[in-house]
Structure 1
């Protein structure tokens, strides 16, 4: 079946706004269940008995459709959406504002803290990324140069890594406390049955983030223990080191 360009534009907008559930709802049940109830056999369906609402194109056709006038990306990330500029009426003045809210909880590598062009509440996103790159480079440098280093240099570098890890532990503990405070606030607003409240997504997101923080904290504390153990070996005092068992 062929669709006009205008029809495909309509279905593409519907799919982008409401996703596959809208297409399935608008298309109707079609011939589902006719084979099971014995009213037809596989490959033989009576169009007169088909419960169809609209002739909806399949998702592959919608995804592959490209219009000269419409070029909507499949995924739009937070930030300046340059694709929307050409839809603005000409001859008018506009004010560009930046929304500082976090648009995603930050559980993956694509979303999370937003880049506010240096106007973040604390450190800018660029400075945090630069700090992270520097810390990773120090760890990789220690691994690559370990064999050629003296024991004194090894101890000095290991203490530097311990300091880095300890600072990240401190930051994560502060973040955990802030998230815990927010979680209690949402619990109070949601009431006893929070799973049916409007705060269910916020509560679930915070719970997932807190679980992730606890997991990372455990790994960082274990890393510090291993580093301290290695330092005692270099100092020939391993017997005086008691490995921590509680976090």
Structure 2
């Protein structure tokens, strides 16, 4: 297997900055959201793959593979379980690279209070949003993506230890517990440093506990 080269990361983001002018406007009928002061517990293991930051959110952008078409499927979840959103919109014309996803939220004032690490984005593209076929893509809450940012995989896991392994890459990436006291929707983040995500077909999460816990494989759309 081909080794994932850290030197490609800089090129990825230089290209990203040039392509950021592209945008998709989400139709009203393709967008659902809710905000509640009553916490809503989620049972999903994998909740997001995005650029990490402790700054407040700005504009949602996603990194499309070259010539993407089909369904764009996005699930947004706040770490405290109060905000949920879903986008399911068909892409009729091929699109590539970093692209702004424009949607009108009735709860923008509440969203602006979150930092990026507190608002998970699970973005997929390809097949049906309700069936297999759509694969994960990278997202960010900032229009300008720089190479001093790192990617994070966001998880909700009851395993004692979670580690991300990438085929062809030496070593592994340890997942850490959030210190945030309101960890409802997800509670762990896995920093992925020095990785060109466009060269990675699968992220494998190896899980360890006192009892056997099945590993998880997350298929990406870039290969």
Scaled by the length of structure 1, the TM-score of the pair is 0.18
Q: Which structure ranks higher in relative contact order (CA pairs < 8 Å, sequence separation ≥ 6)?
A: 2
Whichever of the two has the greater Rg, that structure is 1
Higher strand share: 2
